């Protein structure tokens, strides 16, 4: 068992290690490892305006996606959790399955069809990109939230709070949201990682000036290997950073406890 685990981890880490090595290697052609050491590729990346812009776009889209999914996801998950009607539950199941049933490519084509018309000419705008990311990541956040609500038995917690004298707003701020901090932050990590790495749909619906990082990165692979490696390493960094940021944002929610005055 330990051998299998070790092999698996090696398999997982090897490409990342090779990318890291490649990103600081001077030249890498037809050899197992690159030769020479340089930070030049990162310098070139930084100097490239389209990469810099894409970096900012990705972070902005990711932050906006996290904010919108949290704002929509919490009340929606709460409604689904509290719903006793069979129709609502069935709709929720469909929603949860949406990313599996409708791949980003399908969603992307749909967006092109709808938003390239004269009446809805929004294709290529940054907000449409955010909307696309929200559609494809929301189910993941919802699933995490709803299962946590079930696990916590939120209804009983709310009933208890109500019996102690809490009104709806007091329950929402003092009990519901603080109880969901853990699942909200872990759900947002997933949303952030998915948004940062999203390529298929973004490639279809992003405008020239609103291209996120993965879309621009593709072009790097037509150039020098070192440049492509440095670009990919940056994407990895971007994913880790946004995951950390969204996690801390989730934890930073009001922790309204019994003590603060």
Residues making contact with other proteins (CB under 8 A) = 152-153, 156-157, 159-167, 170, 174-175, 178-179, 181, 255, 257-261
User: Is the CB of 61 or the CB of 77 nearer to other proteins?
Assistant: 77
Tell me which residue of 205, 216, 212 sits closest to 125, measured CA to CA: 205
| CA–CA gap between residue 132 and residue 194 (Å, rounded) | 12
How far apart are CB 153 and other proteins at their closest, in Å? 7
Q: Beta-carbon neighbour count of residue 136 at 10 Å? A: 23
How far apart are CB 254 and other proteins at their closest, in Å? 11
Strand, coil or helix: 27: strand
User: Is the CB of 103 or the CB of 153 nearer to other proteins?
Assistant: 153
Q: Is the dihedral of CA 215, 216, 222, 226 positive or negative?
A: negative
User: Is the CB of 70 or the CB of 220 nearer to other proteins?
Assistant: 70
User: Is the CB of 85 or the CB of 257 nearer to other proteins?
Assistant: 257
How far apart are CB 258 and other proteins at their closest, in Å? 3
User: Is the CB of 90 or the CB of 153 nearer to other proteins?
Assistant: 153
Alpha carbon separation from 221 to 215, 224, 232 (Å, rounded): 11, 7, 10
| CA–CA gap between residue 196 and residue 217 (Å, rounded) | 12
User: Is the CB of 2 or the CB of 260 nearer to other proteins?
Assistant: 260
| CA–CA gap between residue 123 and residue 243 (Å, rounded) | 27
Tell me which residue of 112, 121, 129 sits closest to 65, measured CA to CA: 129
How far apart are CB 175 and other proteins at their closest, in Å? 6
How far apart are CB 183 and other proteins at their closest, in Å? 12
How far apart are CB 251 and other proteins at their closest, in Å? 11
Per the CB < 8 A criterion, the answer to whether 169 and 224 are in contact is: no
Per the CB < 8 A criterion, the answer to whether 201 and 104 are in contact is: yes
User: Is the CB of 116 or the CB of 255 nearer to other proteins?
Assistant: 255
Q: Beta-carbon neighbour count of residue 95 at 10 Å? A: 15
How far apart are CB 148 and other proteins at their closest, in Å? 11
Residues in CB range of 144: below 8 A, 6 or more apart: 183, 184, 186, 187, 190
């Amino acid at each position: 068992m330990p051998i299998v685990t070790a092999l698996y981890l090696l398999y997982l880490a090897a490409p990342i290690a090779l990318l890291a090595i490649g990103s600081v290697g001077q030249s890498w052609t037809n050899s197992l490892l690159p030769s020479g050491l340089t930070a030049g590729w990162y310098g070139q990346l930084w100097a490239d305006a389209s990469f810099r812009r894409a970096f900012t776009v990705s972070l902005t889209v990711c932050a906006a996606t996290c904010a919108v999914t949290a704002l929509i996801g919490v009340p929606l998950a709460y409604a689904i959790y509290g719903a006793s009607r069979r129709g609502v539950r069935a709709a929720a199941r469909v929603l949860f399955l949406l990313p599996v049933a409708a791949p980003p490519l399908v969603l992307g084509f749909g967006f092109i069809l709808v938003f390239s018309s004269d009446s809805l000419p929004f294709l290529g705008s940054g907000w449409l990109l955010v909307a696309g990311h929200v559609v494809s990541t929301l189910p993941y956040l919802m699933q995490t939230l709803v299962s946590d609500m079930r696990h916590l038995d939120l209804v009983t917690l709310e009933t208890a709070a109500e019996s102690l004298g809490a009104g709806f707003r007091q329950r929402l701020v003092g009990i519901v949201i603080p109880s969901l901090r853990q699942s909200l932050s872990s759900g947002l990590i997933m949303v952030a990682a998915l948004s940062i790495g999203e390529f298929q749909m973004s490639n279809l619906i992003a405008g020239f000036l609103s291209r996120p990082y993965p879309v621009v990165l593709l072009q790097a692979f037509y150039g020098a290997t070192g440049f492509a490696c440095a670009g990919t390493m940056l994407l990895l960094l971007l994913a880790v950073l946004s995951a950390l940021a969204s996690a801390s944002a989730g934890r930073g929610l009001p922790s309204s406890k019994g003590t603060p005055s």
